[in-house]
Amino acid sequence: MAKYDNPIWGIHAGKTGDADKLFLKGNFVALGWLKIGDLSVIQPKRESFMAKLKEVYPDKKVRAIPIDTGQLYRFVHEMKKDDLVVYPSKIDKLIHIGRVTGEYNYDIKKEPGYPHQRSVEWLNSYPRTHFTQGALYEIGSAMSFISIKNYADEYRAALEGVKAPVLEEEEDAVAHIAEDIEYNTRDFILKRLSQELKGHPLAEFIAHLLNVMGYRTRVSPEGPDGGIDIIAHKDELGFEPPIIKVQVKSTGGSIGDPVVTALYGKVSSGEYGLFVTLGTFTNQAKSFSKSKSNLRLIDGDELVSLILQHYEKFDSQYKGLIPLRKVYVPEAIEKGEDEE
């Protein structure tokens, strides 16, 4: 076996790097999950680890149980002595690579918040710029402990002092990262709306969105509304056209043609109809809308685009509901024909 052919793992020192001192000065890597106790006394089966997690953390989300189980089980039973470990420090901003030197050890004295430990010999440290964006993205996983697969050879190459093999163009990796960030953000916004603003509260939110877009709105009282949730207009009194009648659906399913045509039946000459849903519209509903110049459909994806476009103007109530912060992500560089 070559010098650095062993499996390679990635680990974080907490969300704020609170275990950084334990890792780098104590020559350990460690995991939290304090309440679960000594993992070495649990039968070495994933099912046993999962059962223990459910027992100790009864309020943990169902989908998180198998993820946490995998992390703990791998740390105890799959990570071996001489395996490599990569730690991206949030304190010194360096990527530290080491070799595992000890078996699993449970110790609440060194760092009470991180009792599950493995001793490590740190071999070298590198600035983040030493690695491709793809390699940094893989080690930046939201999980505390992962098996590095896609870019493992790049980290091994760093230790060997040789040029890393290129798996994909840097621009491609950047594009994938930017797309993933945008996708996750859009998914987060829709989930927050569907979980926190069911029914009438969503109509209040849509009215606020229309307000920041320059419209004045009147929201129908909670209860039967005759299919019209919001009346929107430009002037103070609501007499001058255009008058927009808005229907809002907080369900995530697909809205069909009958519901859309029912709204349009309430739109008089000179008025406009607007249907907003967190879900989607059927092809028949879309076709009907395209045939009507005064009818507009906004599905969940377009609604998120409008939210992102006007987010800075939202009041504190809705910014608190959908907490976002502006970040700059790299944009893929388009190549000219002579660069292909």
Domains of the chain: 8-167 (3.10.590), 192-321 (3.40.1350.10)
Residues with pLDDT less than 70, the chain:
1-2, 164-180, 224-226, 238-239, 329-340
Task: Report how far residue 277's alpha carbon sits from residue 115's, in angstroms, rounded to the nearest whole number.
Answer: 47
- pLDDT for 184 equals 80
Phi, psi of 331 (to 5 degrees): -110, 135
pTM: 0.61
> What are the distances in angstroms from CA 271 to CA 24, 259, 267, 268?
67, 18, 6, 5
Write a three-state SS string for the chain: CCCCCCCEEEECCCCCCCCHHHHHCCCEEEECCHHHCCHHHCCCCHHHHHHHHHHHCCCCCCCHHHHHHHHHHHHHHHCCCCCEEEEECCCCCEEEEEEECCCCEECCCCCCCCCEEEEEEEEEEEEHHHCCHHHHHHHCCCCCEEECCCCHHHHHHHHHCCCCCCCCCHHHHHHHHHHHHHHHHHHHHHHHHHHHCCCHHHHHHHHHHHHHCCCEEEECCCCCCCCCCEEEECCCCCCCCCEEEEEEECCCCEECHHHHHHHHCCCCCCEEEEEEECCEECHHHHHHHHCCCCEEEECHHHHHHHHHHHHHHCCHHHHHHCCCCCCCCCCCCCCCHHHC
- pLDDT for 255 equals 93
DSSP-derived pairing of the beta strands 145-147 and 254-255: unpaired
pLDDT 10s digits, 1-45? 457 788 999 999 987 788 898 999 999 999 999 999 999 999 999
> What are the distances in angstroms from CA 235 to CA 196, 216, 240, 313, 314?
31, 7, 6, 20, 21
By CB atoms closer than 10 A (0-12, 13-18, 19+), residue 3 is: exposed
- pLDDT for 213 equals 94
- pLDDT for 168 equals 54
pLDDT 10s digits, 237-252? 766 778 999 999 998 7
Give, rounded to a whole angstrom, the gap between the first and last alpha carbons of the chain: 38
- pLDDT for 71 equals 95
